[in-house]
Structure 1
Amino acid sequence: MDVPDKALVIGASTGGLEALRPIVRELPARTSAAIFIVLHVGSHKSDLPRLLSHRSQLPAVHPRSGEPVEAGRIYVAPPDHHMIVDSGRIVLTRGPRENRARPAIDPLFRSAARAYGESAIGVILTGALNDGTAGLFEIKARGGTTVVQDPRDALCADMPQSALTHVEIDHIAPASSLGALLADLLTRQPVTSRPIPSPEEQEMTTEFKLARPRAMTCPDCGGALSQSQAGQLTRFTCHIGHAYTAEVMLAAQFVVMEQFIETALRALNERAALCHFMGQKADDKQQCRWLAAHDEALSRTAVLKQLLESEWLQPSAQACEADS
């Protein structure tokens, strides 16, 4: 088994398959690097390893948790599992979602930064919002190489544009040119001693955990949130481990708010139906009260309908349609 001295980590979301195909086609058949890919597939079945193997000279697989990392292989995060590198082995976990995704890009990038230091190459491809930016920031902070797909070439420019905004990027190129660029980087990327993580970093970042809370609450579980910074990028993490950038949390909060409004709308409709039913059965003295309550409930649904149908201000750039 060839132990890799470099790691190439690639993250993508909306439009990622189309961007990955020309990249893997150019990767060399013999390399001392291991390649790791996260595509936002959620819990849906993924044929990505088979599709990439047809295009690449390197075998692509969904790894097993605990297997040793080998050079010259493409490891694809399996559905509904984060994939990280720890002590020369691949760890798969169903820990808390980050940026509403599992698998997410940030956990892989953070682990690669800590395991490979200057010998890590991080690549952000097309995708909505900004998963991967914080992880790419850590790769750069530890001396690794940062690469993004040209936002003008991306089906969805959010992720590469966020990386450009928040991280010092070494290389920008369209997907059609990234394969040759990465093949060249793999031949000249410096090999350095592996950095030893601090005690705080030895904590598994994708496991459920406890942490000091803040005033805001997690859109997924309702737990309190703590705040951290990756350069100018603000991140929020709840005390069991769900993590968001501010932009992703804004979108998640809107979904939760919409669900609550829809619940209230349903309750008002049911109240109106009940009052109408009882009004039809009531005597003349009571009927007017039931029917008045019916009319009141219907009139108040108008406010909720307006909230649901109105456009809301989006402080960040317009995001592409969320992945299914």
Structure 2
Amino acid sequence: MAPEPLLVLGASAGGVEALLELVAGLPGDLSAAVLVTVHTGDRPHSTLARVLDRAGPLPAEQAADGEALRPGRILVAPPDRHLLVSRDGVALSAGPRVNRHRPAVDAMFASAARAGGPRVVAAVLSGALDDGAVGAALVARAGGRVVVQDPADALFGSMPRAAAAAVPDARAAPAARLGPMLATLVEELPLGGDRMAETPWIPTVDDGMAGSPDPAFLRPDESATTRMACPECGGGLARIDLPRIGYFRCHVGHQYSPRSLEAAQREAAEAKLWTAIAALEEHATMARYLDGAQGVAPHPDGGYRLVAEHSAELARVMRERLMRNREP
């Protein structure tokens, strides 16, 4: 059981601005440990902890693996590591990406729900797509509280809107009012108990299906297998159903909320189409080469030239359609 109340904050695009306002409004005597995950992309370093340290009265630093949770201190997920809560403090994980991100908000929220149960307050701030929605639903299911930045106040309202849809009783407020609101909710949290809330997933290196004799492998929380493949690794996807949101996870551990899965599939489909275009263009070039190469018997009826023209035309049409229809 997490020894102190937990305040977990998740954000993506436009979320740093909201975090600065939120942190500025937190009191210096906050009784909760604060964990922050913001999508960092592929950057090797992050200055977010230093920025948040100057933004309000609470000290902030980048989290280290195995670090203890202490009230009134902010720990920030480092690039390329999930920030997770354990019985002993925090853990950094290089486990599979969640919603195409590492660190991911859903991963942090799910582990907080498991470790803290009703002693957790989760807030979803500005960001695109829907990371944080499943995690918010898990926090609410474990008895915790969920707050979202008012989507109208967010630079990107998609993430807080998705979380509010998954948790209809989530409270909403502009970023400037979130700090005092969250501090009040922390003080209203129940006294700690000695239980671990059920949560479907915390990434570990032994989460795979290799030890199972069942080809239709499902974990206890998974609802059904699907015929879809994971866009990242090609493993089979299972569906997990919560009361107001369903999501998907492969047996390796890559996990997707609905909109994140659609975006990942769209990217994977585009990559495959470009691969097909490359193959067609290479074939057209090779066929043209054979059409006039010394020592190569000519193809009957000019076949090399004809197949080269066919492949080149198909590649041209696919390229034009792909570029014309690509969403910004």
Q: Same fold (TM over 0.5)?
A: yes
Q: Indicate if the aligned counterparts of 1:13 and 1:127 stay in contact, CA closer than 8 A.
A: yes
Question: Do residues 290 (structure 1) and 288 (structure 2) align?
Answer: no
Aligned partners of 1:308 and 1:288: how far apart in 2?
Answer: 30
Q: Which residue of 217, 220, 235 maps to 2:232? A: 220
Aligned partners of 1:43 and 1:284: how far apart in 2?
Answer: 51
Aligned partners of 2:227 and 2:56: how far apart in 1?
Answer: 48
Q: Indicate if the aligned counterparts of 1:5 and 1:191 stay in contact, CA closer than 8 A.
A: no
Corresponding position of 1:317: none
Secondary structure at 1:27 match in 2: coil
Q: Indicate if the aligned counterparts of 2:25 and 2:177 stay in contact, CA closer than 8 A.
A: no
What displacement does 1:102 show?
0.4
Aligned partners of 2:16 and 2:238: how far apart in 1?
Answer: 34
Structure 1's 43 and 194: CA in aligned 2 closer, same or farther, altered over 3 A? farther
Q: Indicate if the aligned counterparts of 1:225 and 1:239 stay in contact, CA closer than 8 A.
A: yes
Aligned partners of 2:293 and 2:186: how far apart in 1?
Answer: 80
What displacement does 1:29 show?
1.1
Q: Which residue of 205, 210, 227 maps to 2:208? A: 210
| 2:309 counterpart letter in structure 1 | D
Question: Do residues 118 (structure 1) and 118 (structure 2) align?
Answer: yes
Secondary structure at 2:34 match in 1: strand
Corresponding position of 2:285: 273
Q: Indicate if the aligned counterparts of 1:153 and 1:175 stay in contact, CA closer than 8 A.
A: yes
Matches within 5 A, 1:191-202: 191-197=191-197
| 1:123 counterpart letter in structure 2 | A
Secondary structure at 2:229 match in 1: coil
What displacement does 1:128 show?
0.9
Corresponding position of 2:319: 305
Question: Do residues 230 (structure 1) and 242 (structure 2) align?
Answer: yes
Moved more, 228-237 or 95-104: 228-237
Matches within 5 A, 1:80-119: 80-119=80-119
Q: Indicate if the aligned counterparts of 1:146 and 1:168 stay in contact, CA closer than 8 A.
A: no
Structure 1 residues 171-195: Cα deviation after superposition (integer angstroms, max 9, x where no partner): 2111111122123323333323142
Runs of at least 4 residues off by over 4 Å: 282-287
What displacement does 1:312 show?
7.4
Secondary structure at 2:37 match in 1: strand
Aligned partners of 1:63 and 1:206: how far apart in 2?
Answer: 17
| 1:95 counterpart letter in structure 2 | G
Corresponding position of 1:251: 263
Aligned partners of 1:145 and 1:76: how far apart in 2?
Answer: 20
Secondary structure at 2:261 match in 1: helix
Q: Which runs of 5+ in 1 are unaligned?
A: 314-320
Identity of aligned residues (%): 36
Structure 1's 232 and 204: CA in aligned 2 closer, same or farther, altered over 3 A? closer
| 1:25 counterpart letter in structure 2 | A
What displacement does 1:54 show?
0.9
Moved more, 60-69 or 146-155: 60-69
Corresponding position of 2:19: 20
What displacement does 1:204 show?
6.2
Aligned partners of 1:88 and 1:189: how far apart in 2?
Answer: 21
Aligned partners of 1:284 and 1:193: how far apart in 2?
Answer: 83
Q: Which runs of 5+ in 2 are unaligned?
A: 210-216, 218-224
Aligned partners of 2:3 and 2:73: how far apart in 1?
Answer: 10
What displacement does 1:223 show?
0.5
Corresponding position of 2:221: none
Q: Indicate if the aligned counterparts of 1:4 and 1:33 stay in contact, CA closer than 8 A.
A: no
Corresponding position of 1:43: 42
| 2:61 counterpart letter in structure 1 | V
Corresponding position of 2:162: 162
| 1:5 counterpart letter in structure 2 | E
Aligned partners of 1:143 and 1:232: how far apart in 2?
Answer: 16
Structure 1 residues 261-314: Cα deviation after superposition (integer angstroms, max 9, x where no partner): 10110111111122223334469965933222221111211442254135379x
Structure 1's 186 and 285: CA in aligned 2 closer, same or farther, altered over 3 A? closer
Root mean square deviation of aligned Cα: 2.2
Structure 1's 196 and 293: CA in aligned 2 closer, same or farther, altered over 3 A? closer
Aligned partners of 1:143 and 1:179: how far apart in 2?
Answer: 21
Q: Indicate if the aligned counterparts of 2:36 and 2:76 stay in contact, CA closer than 8 A.
A: yes
What displacement does 1:26 show?
1.3
